[in-house]
Structure 1
């Protein structure tokens, strides 16, 4: 039996938008859709599952749909479901979050700790409804983005759209009065940034030969390069390394920036 795409719902408009996005995604990948409403005692939203299920059925009539209600902390419940999920899909802001927050507390907690890819559905209707025909993936040096690149190729393949691979780098500092260069900046002298990008794409591009790929090597901050690329994308994919000796992922400043500010849905893919 295929593992499901799991979407967390809490009654907020953001979570209902996540249901719509997840229903379309489940159909694209031919996987079941499972709706989860988790609540602390005294905080259940009446008939929420029924309303969300009806909405998903109207959005994607052919989707295989199931649902459950759990009396449990929402983040803990979703993390548990994520151990056997195609991906977890969440709204960008929850029902109980403060109006000024850019990203809900549950979404951030799940993105930082899940074992499977986590999609935070952001942006206006034009971004949520796949109107741009482009998937963007951030590529970093080393092992951190390998699984993310594979995920992004698969998304571009099933959507029959273009993949934009972005690798941002910074030049080493030139004078002793400036801060010493990072290990990554030193590495760019031995391994050109274009080579980093080509190496990351070589394996998946062989598997997905019919996927059109655009390569972008940008000298400058990664968060700025990714946010600019995402302005014309249906989906932004980033990788996350495992934290050594600790549970969860190493999201880092770049992932935090895109989760809070990207104009389109964002996927955080854990490194395998």
Structure 2
């Protein structure tokens, strides 16, 4: 069964950016594109057809949004198979439902109903934290120059050996024919005080070597599976969120993994992923994975 790439549409500028990005992504992977718009109007109609000739305003708006979005997608790439539907639910519930059988969920950084001053909309944040499939939040200053950087960045955390995030990042680099940059950030513990300069140098080397070992373990299997993909490894000292935000400035996509919480339906997004979702200069893919 070929899973579709699902994108949420609501007519906002952020939604249109996400739609354009999703069309290009679907074309790269040869996937069908499924557009989802959430609307509650059917609840108030009780699921029965209206006896009058006038359609409810919310139904008209929903139909216009899906039709115009589908037409935009077809004009951008006529070869991408496009379908659409209006789900009688709130945006979070509708998209989570559609994401149960999806290659990935694509959403804009904000929607029509979000406050202008918000860095990330509540729907996008809920998707990233609760979806069972990869979620790609389309954001960043470089959207108008999509693909010009020709690089994918993978943030490697503590438990990514053979992880879904690593596999996803390698696939994205492979279909684009671009290099992958795998990044592992490290910091010397704040409580570690070493006065002698030679011992201090040794301590720094130990932490850097440990970070390098984690990176090696994380990439081993994917490197064997994607032998034609050009990849680079970077071990960088500094807070992970700052290191990855700096890397997002010249990347087409930033990929990170999020652990499933034991006994809970959500993911452990953590400080790093929250920072990336709010401030990244490129789209961010959050990939669910198990510890």
Same fold by TM-score, threshold 0.5 exceeded? Answer: yes
Q: Are the aligned partners of 1:139 and 1:145 in contact in 2 as well (CA < 8 Å)?
A: no
User: 2:157 matched to which residue of 1?
Assistant: 140
User: 1:14 matched to which residue of 2?
Assistant: 14
User: 1:115 matched to which residue of 2?
Assistant: 132
Shift of 1:244: 1.4
Structure 1 portions without partners, runs of 5+: 177-184
User: Which digits, 9 at most, give the CA deviation of each residue in 1:206-226, with x for residues without a partner?
Assistant: 111111111111111000010
The range that moved more, 44-53 or 262-271, is 44-53
Give the alignment's TM-score, normalised by structure 2: 0.85
User: 1:182 matched to which residue of 2?
Assistant: none
Shift of 1:124: 3.4
User: Which digits, 9 at most, give the CA deviation of each residue in 1:18-61, with x for residues without a partner?
Assistant: 11110111010011000000023475534100000000001111
Secondary structure at 1:149's aligned position in 2?
helix
User: 1:226 matched to which residue of 2?
Assistant: 244
Residues 1:130 and 2:150 are matched in the alignment? no
Structure 2 portions without partners, runs of 5+: 42-56, 195-202
2:97 to 74, 80, 85: 80
Q: Are the aligned partners of 1:121 and 1:128 in contact in 2 as well (CA < 8 Å)?
A: no
Instruction: Rate the CA distance shift 1:27–1:190 in 2: closer, same or farther, 3 A.
Output: closer
Superposition pairs of residues 114-263 of structure 1, within 5 angstroms: 114-126=131-143, 129-143=146-160, 146-172=163-189, 173-175=191-193, 192-263=210-281
Inter-partner Cα distance in structure 2 for 1:217 and 1:136: 13
Inter-partner Cα distance in structure 2 for 1:8 and 1:189: 42
Secondary structure at 1:245's aligned position in 2?
coil
- Number of aligned residue pairs: 262
Flag as ranges the 4+ runs of structure 1 deviating above 6 A.
none
Inter-partner Cα distance in structure 1 for 2:248 and 2:280: 7
Inter-partner Cα distance in structure 1 for 2:87 and 2:6: 14
Inter-partner Cα distance in structure 1 for 2:71 and 2:244: 35
Q: Are the aligned partners of 2:160 and 2:257 in contact in 1 as well (CA < 8 Å)?
A: no
The range that moved more, 39-48 or 68-77, is 39-48
Inter-partner Cα distance in structure 2 for 1:209 and 1:124: 32
Inter-partner Cα distance in structure 2 for 1:244 and 1:114: 15
The range that moved more, 255-264 or 143-152, is 143-152
Q: Are the aligned partners of 1:130 and 1:234 in contact in 2 as well (CA < 8 Å)?
A: yes
Inter-partner Cα distance in structure 2 for 1:117 and 1:21: 15
Larger Rg: 2
Aligned-CA RMSD value? 2.0
Give the alignment's TM-score, normalised by structure 1: 0.91
Inter-partner Cα distance in structure 2 for 1:122 and 1:175: 40
User: Which digits, 9 at most, give the CA deviation of each residue in 1:119-159, with x for residues without a partner?
Assistant: 00002355662110000010012248821111000000000
Q: Are the aligned partners of 2:142 and 2:281 in contact in 1 as well (CA < 8 Å)?
A: no
